[in-house]
Structures are given as C-alpha cells and as structure tokens.
A and B are shown apart, each in its own frame.
Chain A
Amino acid sequence: MDTVTTGATQEEPRFDPRGLVELDARVPRVAEIDGDRAVFDARELTTRGINLELRRLLYEEGVREVTVQNPRARHSIGVGLLTRAKINFEGSLGYFAMGMMDGPEVHIAGRVGWSACENMMSGVTVIESNAGSLTGAAMRGGDLVIKGKVGARTGIDQKGGTIIVMGSAGSMTGFMMQRGRQIICGDVGPGLGDSMYDGVIYVGGKVKSLGIDCVPGEWTDEDTELIERKFRIYGLGTPPQLQKYVCGKKLYNYDTLEPSERKLVL
C-alpha cells in the first residue's frame, strides 16, 4: 500500500468511511523552479504527491516546462492536466499515464503500462518505448506516438486524434473505433478494427485477421499528406508502405440515432 512521505517523516494512510485510502493532500513543494521551468525528483513521492506537485507548478506557479525525475513507473501520473505545458518524464510510467489530459505536450523516456492517455482530449504524448494494452482508449483528440510496441485493443472506442505506433500492435486494435486515425508501422494481431464505426487505420506490416466490418480502404492524397506530416513533425523518418483500413459501414446507421447518442460520436 502507498504511504505518504512528506520530507523526512512518513505518515500512515488514512481511510474514508467507504474504506478507500485517503492520502495526504499536502503539496510536496520540492521542485526547483527556474523562471518558467521546473524540475523535481519523484523518487520519494507518492502518486498523489507527484500529481499535486505537477498541478501546483502548472496552475499556480505559471511553470510552462516541467521535468520529473525518477517517476519509477507510478500509476495514474499526470491524469487530468488541463493546460498547455511541456512535461518530461525521465523514466517509465505505470497504468493510466496522462489520462484525460487536455493540452500538455508530454515526453516519456521509458515505457508505460495499461491505458496510457485514455480519454486524452488534446495535446501530444511521445513514448520512447513500449506501451501496454488499451493505449489511447476512448481518446478524443491530439497525437499519441509510441516508438515501441503496444498491447491489445489500442485505441478501443477511439473518438478522435491520431495514434502512431512504430512497432507492432496486439489483438483487437481499433476495436469499436468511432473516429480518428491510427498508424501502425509493424504487424497487427487478430481482429483489426473489429466493430469500428468510423476512422482510419493504416498498417505497415502484416494483419493477422480483420475484425467484423473492417475493410481495406482507398488511398487518397489526404492520406499521404497526413502520414508525411505526422512523420515529419515527430522525426520518425521515412514512413513505411502502409495499407489503409476503414469501416465497411454495414453495421450501423447514424440517421436512426437519438441526439444524445449522436453527440457521443462527435
């Protein structure tokens, strides 16, 4: 169980009436701030401490670039950051890294666990190594670049944005995808684009099998422009030969959707 460390003293975690752990909400205030830049060592901080420090720096101190040393693969780091800033993690992060973020440009020097950037609204995240399953789940916008491999169900329920994977991807990639784009440079496991409603998936390697209603698409000049632009921006070299996959549109009819359902896919 996580305990709170504040300075040299260590406190026992407290529990709320539901039995959920309620960690100390004191902001660590350990960062060294230099103008609009800051750096802090997260080695001795709890997950909550790291997130509180990030929020203090970005929301209260006006810092525009933060470097976090020794994140030690902590889970749920950087969740819900809603401002423009550059954040550099000098190490790996655990589950749900940078979830629900809206605005930051993030660089993660190591790996990430499950559900990195789930529900990401806008911004950029570049991950230098591998990512777990459910990467970019329900993502709404922005760019997510993974320079290694990813697990299963990448971009499940994706509603916007661009996911770029330089390595291979697992099974059910793009499952229930509704909008947005995925560029997978390596091989892809079985069930690619299963039950996708919309969006585009580009694959550079072999596809084990296509999912239900996922079909090859017709390449256009817009596709070429998108791929070349994204590879240029993120310095990814020359794009491989890609095959485009789209929704066959045999399974749905948006015209019959209630307004409240329709807005979910916009």
Chain B
Amino acid sequence: MSTRRLPAEPQKIVSIDAEYLSGRRFPYQEDMGLVEDIDLMAATPGEDLNWLEDIHLLIEDGVPAVFDRYSNSFLKIYFAIPEGREDEIARKVLIKHLQSGNSYGITLKERHCKYPQPELGPWVEGSRTVGTDYHRSILEGWEPPEH
C-alpha cells in the first residue's frame, strides 16, 4: 500500500492565540490604563451587560486571558489584575480589542464577507459597511472545469 506524504504544516499550533492570528501584541494587553475608561454598559445592548455576562477571565497557557468569540482565540492579559476585578478587566480588554478593529475575525470581513454588515460590529456606532461588493476568491491559475 502506498502512503501519501502530507505537506508539512509549519504553522500548526496547539494554542488558540489572538497574537498569533494578528501577528502582534497589542498595547492594551500590557497596560491596564488603556482600558480603564471603557464603558461596558454603553458598549452592550439593553440595560445590563447583555452578552458580556458570559465573558469571564480565563487562563490560557498559564496566562490570564479572555476569549474572543469573534476570532475563536484567546487574548492574553499581561498586566496585574486587581483582585475582585477579574471579569470586569477581562471584559474591558475584550471590548477594547473589538472596538479597535484588531480582532482577526474583523480583519477578515473586508475580504470575505458576502453580505453587507458593519465592519466593527455592534460595539461601535457608525462603523462603515463592508461586504457590499463581494467577489469570491479565485486561486491564481485556476481554470473553471469544462462540464
């Protein structure tokens, strides 16, 4: 029986990391002062925290982290988090990440979304609309089959 040799996967990793997806670390991961003024109530629909109720401080690779569901990745937090404010800080870092447009899922919208939608999602008022002129990606050199 012949065995097919699979191509190497140099980028295969086991962690799910926002820094890896974005290719860089963000200042608000290291400086709590950059997220202190985030208004969580203003950033969410309704009269309480809405979807942020389900966002909690977690641990990834031994480091405090918050999960970004819009890119399926963890955003690690490197500054010391005051006791009793764990979830609040995690939520503020996540909202800062989303409002800044740095979530990897947001960066993919410009190229890949098929239907019109706000680029930055519901966390930012007046965000521009993307997806109004979708064309599917075609690999270079690809020809459509004759049949």
Contact = CB atoms under 8 A, between A and B. Distances in A.
Interface of A: 55, 59-60, 62, 80, 82-84, 102-105, 121-124, 140-143, 160-162, 179-180, 229, 233, 259-260, 263, 266
Contacts, number: 83
B46 A161 contact: no
A123 B72 CA distance: 20
A233 B49 CA distance: 12
A259 B16 contact: yes
24 contacts: A80-B117, A83-B117, A83-B118, A83-B121, A83-B127, A84-B45, A84-B122, A102-B122, A105-B45, A121-B51, A123-B46, A124-B45, A124-B50, A140-B54, A141-B53, A142-B50, A160-B54, A161-B51, A162-B53, A180-B54, A233-B46, A259-B15, A260-B16, A263-B73
A266 B67 contact: yes
Place the interface of chain B in its size category: 20 to 34
Interface of B: 14-16, 44-48, 50-54, 58, 67, 69, 72-73, 115-118, 121-122, 125-127, 129
A162 B45 CA distance: 13
A103 B43 CA distance: 10
A263 to B, nearest CB: 5
Contacts of A141: 50-54
A122 B129 contact: no
Contacts of B125: 84
Given A59-B117, A266-B67, A233 B45 contact: no
A124 B11 CA distance: 40
A143 B73 CA distance: 24
Interface SS of A by simple majority: mixed
Contacts of A102: 121-122
A160 B115 CA distance: 25
Contacts of B58: 266
Contact of B51 (A80, A105, A140): A140
Contacts of A123: 45-46, 50-51, 122
Contacts of B67: 263, 266
Contacts of B117: 59, 80, 82-83
Contacts of B45: 84, 103-105, 122-124, 142
Contacts of B127: 83
B51 A55 contact: no
Nearest to A103: B122
Q: What 5 A-B pairs are tightest by C-beta distance, nearest first?
A: A103-B122, A141-B51, A122-B51, A160-B54, A266-B67
A160 to B, nearest CB: 4
Contacts of A103: 45, 121-122
Contacts of B54: 140-141, 160-161, 179-180
A125 B15 CA distance: 35
A105 B47 CA distance: 10
B14 A259 contact: yes
A102 B122 CA distance: 7
